[in-house]
Amino acid sequence: MPESPGPQEPTLDEQIAAYQREFRDLDPQVEKVVSALGRLNRRMNVAYGRQVAELGISNTEWEVLKTLVLAGAPYRMGPGELAKRLGLTPAAMTHRIDRMAGEGLVTRDRDENNRVRVIVEVTDDGRAKWLEAMRMASNFEEDLLQDLTDRDRGALGEMLTTLLRRVEDAQPDAGGRLTDLD
């Protein structure tokens, strides 16, 4: 028997009206943009999570694979650097690597040049799952943006990049998880 949906989330307009009722100085245009971005981000994360689950991996495993692939061939990195890039503690990263090594997504070996240092590398299976996740995400993203012209897509990309730069300039340490928010 399927679960019945929980309470409906208010529409953006209903949410903004409620905010304005309680906080009269609110700029409704700003709030609509920010609220829409937040909702879009949440819904996209759910969609991506469902896609990678079909491949037998989690969002967190996907993030590790993505970070290693973005490092470039041979898709390897030390666990400390991985933890830093993902905003994780070393202990959390070790746990994640242990699980992924057990699933055959990554290997963990000693650095041949420095036997104290450990190197994490994507396996062929890990890279294949990453590529399939990228194909699935690409299809989802094309569908998401289907109603926008190429010009609209370019303009939206530039506007969002401007907002991202503003946040990055104001919060330069906000790339990963913040220890004060954990």
Residue-level pLDDT at 3 = 60
Residue-level pLDDT at 144 = 95
Instruction: Give the whole-number percent of the chain exceeding pLDDT 70.
Output: 92
Q: Is the pLDDT of residue 100 over 90?
A: yes
Q: Is the pLDDT of residue 114 over 50?
A: yes
Alpha helix positions (H), the chain: 12-22, 28-54, 59-70, 79-86, 90-102, 124-144, 150-170
**Strand partners of residue 107:** 121
Range with lowest mean pLDDT among 50-54, 68-72, 109-113: 109-113
Q: What is the pLDDT of residues 117-165, one digit of tens each?
A: 889 999 999 999 999 999 999 999 999 999 999 999 999 999 999 998 9
| C-alpha–C-alpha distance, residues 119 and 19, integer Å | 50
DSSP collapsed to 3 states, 16-61: HHHHHHHCCCCCHHHHHHHHHHHHHHHHHHHHHHHHHHHCCCCHHH
Residue-level pLDDT at 7 = 74
Q: Is the pLDDT of residue 180 over 50?
A: no
Q: What is the pLDDT of residues 26-62, one digit of tens each?
A: 899 999 999 999 999 999 999 999 999 999 999 999 9
95 touches 86 (CB < 8 A): no
